[in-house]
C-alpha cells in the first residue's frame, strides 16, 4: 500500500515536472518568435538597412501543387537584393508542407504560420515568411479576388491557387502575376505606403486617398491593383503586364525615396 502511494506520488511529481517543462518550452518558443509577431511595416528599417541585421533569410512555404515558378523565385531574389543593404547576403529556404483546406481567413493564415513556419529572426539574421496558399482568400466575391496579403511585420501570404486559376496556369502569365504580387506584398513589409504613418512625403502626394496604404502613381508596383483585382480587369491586367516586359517596379520619386529614408537602396 505504502509502496503504491509512493509510486503514485512519484507519478504525480513526474507529471508536474513534465507540465512545467512544457510551459517553459512554450514560453521560450513565444519569446523566440516575438520579433516576428509585430505590426505590419514596423520592421521596414530592420529589413532594409544593415543597422540591426546583416543578413536576411526568406522562408518559402508551399505544398507541391502550389510551388511558385523558378523564374518567380529568381526574380524575387534579384528584387530583394536591389533594395536591401545586407552585407552578409539574402538566402532562401523552401519548406514543403501538405495542402491546407481553404478558403482562408487571415486568422487561419496566421494559424498555418504558427504551425508551419520554421525560420525566425535570430542574432543578426532577419527572417521573412511567405506562404503560397493552397486555397483562395475567403473574402473573395463573385467579382473580386485577393491575390496576396502582408499581414504582419515579416509575414506574407500569396493566394497561389487564385493566381493559378486567373491565369489558367499559362506559365508566362502565372510567373508575371506571381512576381508582381510577391514584390507588391514585400513592398508592404518595407512599410509602403505610409503603413506606419511615417511617409516622408507631405499630405496626399504619395498615398492614394482613394486606396489607402497604396501609391498614387498608376504604374508603380505599389498601385492598389497589384493586390486585389476585379475579375473583369484580370485579362487587361495580364495583357498590360505582358506589354511591360518587366515586372512593375517602385516609382523613383516617392516609393524609392521612402525606402532610402529607411536605409534601403
Beta-bridged to residue 155, according to DSSP, are: 129, 152
Site string for Zn ion, 184-223 (x = CB under 5 A): -------------------------------x-x--x-x-
* From 227, 229, 238, 262, residue interacting with Zn ion (rule: CB under 5 A): 227
Shortest distance in whole angstroms from residue 151 CB to Zn ion: 11
Q: How far is the CB of 64 from Zn ion (least distance, A)?
A: 28
Give 135 or 187: the residue with its C-beta nearer to Zn ion: 187
Taking the least distance from each CB to Zn ion, the nearer of 119 and 192 is: 192
CB of 183 to Zn ion, least distance (A): 11
Number of residues that bind Zn ion (CB under 5 A): 8
Only one of the segments 89-97, 110-118, 240-248, 252-260 lies at the binding site for Zn ion (rule: CB under 5 A); that segment is 252-260
Considering only the stretches 36-44, 94-102, 121-129, 247-255, report the one whose residues sit in contact with Zn ion under the rule CB under 5 A: 247-255
The angle that helices 171-189 and 234-244 make with each other, rounded to 10 degrees, is 90
Of the pair 62, 250, the CB lying nearest Zn ion is at 250
Could you count the other beta carbons within 10 Å of the beta carbon of residue 81? 13
Q: Say if residues 167 and 173 touch (Cβ distance below 8 Å).
A: yes
- Among residue numbers 98 through 157, which ones bind Zn ion (CB under 5 A)? none
CA nearest 54: which of 124, 123, 121?
A: 124
Which residues of this chain interact with Zn ion, rule CB under 5 A?
A: 215, 217, 220, 222, 227, 251, 254-255
Amino acid at each position: 500500500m505504502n509502496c503504491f502511494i509512493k509510486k503514485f506520488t512519484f507519478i504525480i511529481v513526474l507529471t508536474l515536472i513534465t507540465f512545467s517543462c512544457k510551459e517553459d518550452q512554450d514560453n521560450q518558443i513565444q519569446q523566440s518568435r516575438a520579433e516576428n509577431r509585430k505590426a505590419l511595416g514596423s520592421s521596414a528599417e530592420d529589413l532594409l538597412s544593415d543597422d540591426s541585421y546583416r543578413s536576411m533569410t526568406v522562408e518559402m512555404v508551399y505544398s507541391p501543387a502550389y510551388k511558385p515558378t523558378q523564374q518567380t523565385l529568381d526574380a524575387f531574389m534579384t528584387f530583394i537584393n536591389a533594395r536591401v543593404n545586407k552585407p552578409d547576403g539574402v538566402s532562401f529556404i523552401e519548406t514543403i508542407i501538405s495542402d491546407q483546406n481553404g478558403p482562408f481567413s487571415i486568422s487561419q493564415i496566421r494559424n498555418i504560420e504558427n504551425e508551419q513556419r520554421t525560420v525566425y529572426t535570430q542574432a543578426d539574421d532577419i527572417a521573412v515568411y511567405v506562404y503560397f496558399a493552397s486555397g483562395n482568400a475567403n473574402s473573395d466575391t463573385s467579382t473580386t479576388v485577393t491575390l496576396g496579403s502582408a499581414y504582419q511585420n515579416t509575414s506574407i501570404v500569396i493566394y497561389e491557387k487564385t493566381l493559378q486559376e486567373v491565369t489558367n496556369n499559362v506559365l508566362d502569365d502565372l510567373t508575371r502575376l506571381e512576381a508582381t504580387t510577391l514584390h507588391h506584398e514585400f513592398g508592404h513589409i518595407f512599410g509602403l505606403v505610409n503603413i506606419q504613418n511615417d511617409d516622408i512625403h507631405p499630405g496626399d502626394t504619395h498615398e492614394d486617398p482613394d486606396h489607402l496604404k497604396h501609391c498614387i502613381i498608376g504604374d508603380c508596383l505599389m498601385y492598389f491593383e497589384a493586390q486585389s483585382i476585379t475579375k473583369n480587369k484580370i485579362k487587361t491586367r495580364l495583357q498590360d503586364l505582358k506589354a511591360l516586359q518587366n515586372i512593375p517596379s517602385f516609382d523613383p520619386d516617392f516609393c524609392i525615396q521612402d525606402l532610402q529614408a529607411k536605409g534601403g537602396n
